[in-house]
Amino acid sequence: MSQLVTGEAVVLQVRIARMPTRALACAIDFIIQMIVLGTLLGFLLGFLIVEASPALGAALAIITVLLVVVGYKVVMETLTRGKTLGKLILGLKVVRDDGSSIRFRHALVRGLLWLFVDFAPWFAASPGIVASLMNKQGKRIGDMVAGTVVIRERHQPMASPPLFVPGHLVMWAQSLELSRLSDDLANTCREYLARYMELEVSARIAIGDALAYRVGQVTAPAPPVHIIAPAFLSAVLAERRRRELARLATTRATYSTNPYAVPTGPFAPPNPQANPYAVPAGPFAPPNPYGAQPPPYTPPPPPQARPHVPAPETTKVNAQGWHAPGSEPDQWS
């Protein structure tokens, strides 16, 4: 896992493609290039037999080789924004150092240096392989000059760990000092919790205790009661996430066009009546220590009142259809 910083100062977590995967993608592209090159040279040979011009044949052969070897990579990476057929099969992509898509000039520089520098036949050793093995991001010389890096697009998604604070530790979590907790350490703890069930029991305990000791050195105060390492890490990360969300919600409301508008969506401020440390539901919810609980009691609905039916009119009217107010019913009979 590596980090790329965009032009807006946003840190992106990406997976860098290493040498074995890139070599396999290059081999697939090389096979495709040889098939295309053999087909074109076959048609060219038939043309040369008719024309019988050695100089013209040599010039056409050199141009054909350059177009296939260099033009294939340049055209494919330009049209697909950083992919060739080999990279597409293996889930790789060429991006710029800030994570954006490459353009024609980046593809052209990479293609030319791939042929004339990185894997040039006149070098005793391939400089591209040496540079890729020595660079922490696996860059060859063409990537360094063009300002690009090859990343992996397809990888197994990591499940989100269940971060929550136990009910009896809410007051302790709210009093934590987290200013010295770095992002790298927090991400390491989050990855440990996400892969907790995949680890062996001995490794699970050893790594958890080591991370809990490192987090305990940069946070204060200590938990009032003894808790296991995963629960301690989960509580610290949950409180850190709650404070980050509250800070983002405050910042979003400050720069809003309407100063009285309440932000909505994922950055909305927490509901003061809701419990911010509620145990998450779903497949990551921890088991209930009290066992299965009966469904909550729902009171029966109140009986509906009968509708009011007005009494029938008993006042009689005269032949003209009217009567004086207060007249007797039988006055016009």
What pLDDT digit, counting tens, does each position of 3-35 carry? 565 555 555 667 888 888 898 999 999 999 999
- Does pLDDT of 202 surpass 90? no
Q: Residue 2 pairs with which residues in a beta bridge?
A: 14
Q: Which H or E run contains 2?
A: strand 2-5
Which of these ranges, 9-13, 104-108, 199-203, 325-329, has the smallest mean pLDDT? Answer: 325-329
Predicted local confidence at residue 76, as pLDDT: 92
Predicted local confidence at residue 290, as pLDDT: 42
Q: Which of 63, 71, 65, 82 is nearest to 25 (CA)?
A: 82
Q: Which of 81, 97, 92 is nearest to 3 (CA)?
A: 97
The residue type found at 9 is A
Predicted local confidence at residue 116, as pLDDT: 87
- Does pLDDT of 168 surpass 50? yes
- Does pLDDT of 167 surpass 90? no
Ramachandran bin of 275, using left for φ above 0, alpha for ψ from -120 to 50, beta for the remaining angles: beta
Q: For the chain, give the mean pLDDT.
A: 77
Which of these ranges, 47-51, 78-82, 217-221, 229-233, has the smallest mean pLDDT? Answer: 47-51
Where b means 16+ CB within 10 Å and e means fewer, 148-183 reads bbbbbbeeeeeeebbbbbbeebeebbeebebeebee
pLDDT per residue over 43-69, tens digit each?
Answer: 877 766 666 577 777 788 888 888 888
Q: Residue 13 pairs with which residues in a beta bridge?
A: 3
Q: Give alpha helix (H) positions in 2-71.
A: 19-51, 54-66
Q: Residue 177 pairs with which residues in a beta bridge?
A: 220
DSSP secondary structure string for all residues of 147-193: TEEEEE---PPPPPP-----GGGHHHHHT-B-TT--HHHHHHHHHHH
pLDDT per residue over 236-290, tens digit each?
Answer: 999 998 898 888 887 766 555 555 555 555 445 555 455 555 555 554 455 544 4
- Cβ-contact 19, 135 below 8 angstroms: no
Mean pLDDT along residues 93-113: 89
Mean pLDDT along residues 126-143: 87
Which of these ranges, 170-174, 179-183, 295-299, has the smallest mean pLDDT? Answer: 295-299
